[in-house]
Amino acid sequence: MHNEEVLEDLKAADITDAKCITQHPGFNCFCLQKWSLKMSADGYKTKSKARYRQLEGENRFLRSVSYRGFTRMVYRFLGNKRIPLPACAYMAIRKTFPVSEKEEFTGYVDESD
């Protein structure tokens, strides 16, 4: 999203004191809603053109789709460029879809690694 779009959306939602992108009216429905994420996953592909699919735990899958959705919502298409998300976005996503005790959290791993 361009700054102007974000500001317009916040103004339309009557949010005048937003200090974080997680306060954007689209953040919860686009990045934290399980069924929205499952539907979005069908439209995403990895660098190798494989479709996103759940191979391991559901929360891990939903986190990866949410990170991707956030990036698309804010920056649109990045191509091969990778940028870190703001800490507030990571925190909100990980709170909603926590890392299980059995899961080994690795952070971002490029698929070519």
What are residue 84's DSSP bridge partners?
none
| 40: Cα within 13 Å, side-chain hemisphere | 22
In a domain, 1, yes or no: no
Q: 1 pLDDT exceeds 50?
A: no
Q: Tell me, yes or no, whether 28 lies in a domain.
A: yes
Query: What are the tens digits of pLDDT across the range 91-107?
Result: 999 999 998 877 776 66
Q: Does residue 6 sit within a domain?
A: no
Structural domains counted in the chain: 1
Give me 35's structure tokens: 């069924």
- Say if 109 falls within a structural domain: no
Find out whether 93 and 99 touch, Cβ atoms under 8 Å. no
* Nearest C-alpha neighbor of 33 from the set 98, 75, 96: 96
CB atoms under 10 Å from CB of 6, counted, come to 18
Q: 42-88 pLDDT, tens per residue?
A: 877 766 776 777 777 889 889 989 988 888 887 776 667 777 888 99
Residue 106 within a domain: no
- Residue 32 is part of which domain span? 22-96
* Class of residue 81 by CB neighbours under 10 A (exposed 0-12, middle 13-18, buried 19+): exposed
Task: Please report whether residue 104 resides in a domain.
Answer: no
Question: Using CA of residue 15, residue 20, residue 26, residue 29, what is the dihedral sign?
Answer: negative
Q: Is 7 within a domain?
A: no
Is residue 8 a part of any domain in this protein? no
